[in-house]
Amino acid sequence: MPSQKEVNKFIKSQKSIQFYKKVQKALSDVLLKMSNEDYKKITKNLILMILHEGALGQVMHFPPIKSKFKILQITFPKKIPIDVLRFVLAHELGHVKQNRNWEEEDDMRLEENADKTAEEWGFPKTKKISRWIKDHEA
């Protein structure tokens, strides 16, 4: 598992979450549960674009990157329960681990795999979480 110091350094590098303490906490909780291998694969060239509900836009400036990079975008309601936020972050980082975009023939397999990865890291999609997500989908 990655160290708290490594995780803190990664979180500090993500400028889009500098004001979102709840997101920082949930992200730290998720990253600390990963294997070193998963942590390195997922955080390498990962850029988070996190907006709180009600923010209409945000600009981020990126330094030149010489190899493939990934952007994880989340807009979160201000009153999202921490267990839901942890699951959503773990699920989306599960997609980062897949290392590719969805293709039509995938059907729901990539979603199911991301749920499974989140569960392996200790963040299962409970009935309560599923219900909250369903109630708050656009």
Residue linked to tokens 């979180």: 11
pLDDT at 57 over 80: no
Higher pLDDT, 66 or 14: 14
Sign of CA dihedral 86, 74, 8, 1: positive
SS (H, E, C) the chain: CCCHHHHHHHHHHCHHHCCCHHHHHHHHHHHCCCCHHHHHHHHCCEEEEEEECCCCCCCCCCCCCCCCCEEEEEEECCCCCHHHHHHHHHHHHHHHHHCCCCCHHHCCHHHHHHHHHHHHCCCCCCHHHHHHHHHHCC
Domain layout of the chain by residue ranges? 4-136
Average pLDDT value for residue range 2-13: 96
Question: Which pLDDT band holds residue 124 (cuts at 50, 70, 90)?
Answer: very high
Question: Which pLDDT band holds residue 106 (cuts at 50, 70, 90)?
Answer: confident
pLDDT > 90: percent of the chain: 64
Question: How much is the pLDDT for 58?
Answer: 73
pLDDT at 53 over 90: no
pLDDT at 76 over 70: yes
Question: Which pLDDT band holds residue 38 (cuts at 50, 70, 90)?
Answer: very high
Average per-residue pLDDT in the chain?
90
